[in-house]
């Protein structure tokens, strides 16, 4: 391809992109409808929420409120991500109308507002039920504007498409809706690490770990173990009452003690195919006040829960612990 052809191809691509952007801007322009500036969802909808269900072509998630938290039905009623739910509710409560258009079949398809139950549809469906199980709101979310400052929405039985001044993040994977990760530690905060019968400790931050019992682990091996715990996500979560630990006879135990007195005990359970983790907190004899507060405020996220981790990370931890 010569320079002229390359230049022409680049120009054509630019024109195509501009046309696509212009088309979206055109359909989202302000047409001065009397509804402009009004809230898209009425305030009373949020007064007595019993359930929020979000369904897309890739997943379905159902949230139930519990005091200051939300629980995810499809994850054995584990806790939904705090920030995601806060941002979602805030966006829904503050969404205002900036445009209204006739919902023609062509425009519905163009803006991905076809209900996915029609098989070819790409819309994300959000329904809200009150505490008595009655549906009080049902919205289809389609394409967002290129600047991600507005979204095209409509109600299934409505004859109008609205543009609202909000962009809402709908994770495609169910596991992305729950509180992650299992652990998020700073390597420099770890004072002691125990792996089954192997024990390593250091006197202060920045010092190397010294063996107290067990086999000899190199500094690189210890660093690799701690690196796993810097951010350890999970793929599935099950409550203890629904978890049969007899199915996973192979066990390993890892304990991480921080300089502030927090002890993080991790049990790994596996059948050599699937790997689960159970985490509990305790303290050294003289923990800091912040450590006690941390345990008080976070233990509920782990007590009575089992988390399935990737086989890669599970096998690595098991091998390190068992030697």
Please give the Cα distance from 287 to 188 (Å, whole number): 17
Answer yes or no: is pLDDT of 6 > 80: no
What pLDDT is attached to residue 292?
Answer: 98
Provide the pLDDT for residue 5: 44
Could you give the percent of the chain with pLDDT greater than 90?
80
Segment 68-97, tens digit of pLDDT: 899 999 999 999 999 999 999 999 999 999
Q: How many CB atoms lie within 10 A of CB 227?
A: 13
Q: How confident is the model at residue 120 (pLDDT cuts 50, 70, 90)?
A: low
Residue 118, H or E segment: none
Task: Say whether pLDDT at 14 is over 50.
Answer: no
Q: What is the DSSP string of 183-251?
A: B---GGGEEEEEETTEEEE-SSTTSPPEEEESS---HHHHHHHHHHHHSB--SEEEEGGG--GGG--EE
**Residue 229: how many CB atoms within 10 A of its CB?**
22
238-259 tens-digit pLDDT: 999 999 999 999 999 999 999 9
User: Which residue in this structure is represented by tokens 């024990």?
Assistant: 199
Look at residue 53 and give its three-state secondary structure: strand
Structure tokens at 62: 């159902």
pLDDT tens-digit series, residues 135-173? 999 999 999 999 999 999 999 989 999 999 999 989 999
In the prediction, which pLDDT does 216 show?
Answer: 86
Mean pLDDT for the chain? Answer: 89
How far is residue 281 CA from its own chain's centroid? 23
The dihedral over CA atoms of 167, 173, 177, 182, expressed in degrees to the nearest 10, equals -140
Q: Which of 2-6, 89-93, 116-120, 207-211 has the lowest mean pLDDT?
A: 2-6
Cα angle 108-114-115, degrees, rounded to a multiple of 5: 150
Q: What pLDDT does residue 2 have?
A: 47
Residue 57 pLDDT > 70, yes or no? yes
Compute the C-alpha angle 24/28/30, nearest 5°: 150
Alpha-carbon distance values, 269 to 91, 229, 253, 279 (Å): 40, 17, 9, 11
- Mean pLDDT across the stretch 252-281? 97
Identify whether the C-beta of residue 208 lies closer than 8 Å to the C-beta of residue 222: no
């Amino acid at each position: 391809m010569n320079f002229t052809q390359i230049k022409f191809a680049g120009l054509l691509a630019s024109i195509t992109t501009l046309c696509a952007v212009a088309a979206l801007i055109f359909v989202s322009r302000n047409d001065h409808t009397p509804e402009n500036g009004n809230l898209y969802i009425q305030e009373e909808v949020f007064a007595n929420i019993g359930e929020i269900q979000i369904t897309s072509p890739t997943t379905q998630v159902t949230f139930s409120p519990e005091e200051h938290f939300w629980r995810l039905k499809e994850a054995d009623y584990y806790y939904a991500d705090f920030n995601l739910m806060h941002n979602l509710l805030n966006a829904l409560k503050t969404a205002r109308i900036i445009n209204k258009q006739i919902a023609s079949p062509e425009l519905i398809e163009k803006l991905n507002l076809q209900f996915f139950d029609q098989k070819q549809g790409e819309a994300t469906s959000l329904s809200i039920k009150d505490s008595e199980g009655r549906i009080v709101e049902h919205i289809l979310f389609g394409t967002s504007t290129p600047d991600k400052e507005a979204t095209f929405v409509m109600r299934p039985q409505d004859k109008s498409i609205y543009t609202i001044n909000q962009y809402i993040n709908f994770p495609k994977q169910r596991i992305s809706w729950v509180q992650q990760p299992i652990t998020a530690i700073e390597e420099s905060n770890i004072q002691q690490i125990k792996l089954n019968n192997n024990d390593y400790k250091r006197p202060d931050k920045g010092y190397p770990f010294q063996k107290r019992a067990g086999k000899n682990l190199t500094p690189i091996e210890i660093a690799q173990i701690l690196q796993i715990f810097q951010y350890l996500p999970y793929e599935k979560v099950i409550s203890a009452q629904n978890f049969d630990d007899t199915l996973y006879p192979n066990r390993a135990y890892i304990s991480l003690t921080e300089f502030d007195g927090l002890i993080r005990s991790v049990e790994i359970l596996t059948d050599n195919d699937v790997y689960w983790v159970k985490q509990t907190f305790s303290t050294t004899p003289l923990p800091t006040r912040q450590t006690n507060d941390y345990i008080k405020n976070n233990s509920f996220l782990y007590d009575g829960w089992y988390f399935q981790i990737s086989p890669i990370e599970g096998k690595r931890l098991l091998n390190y612990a068992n030697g």
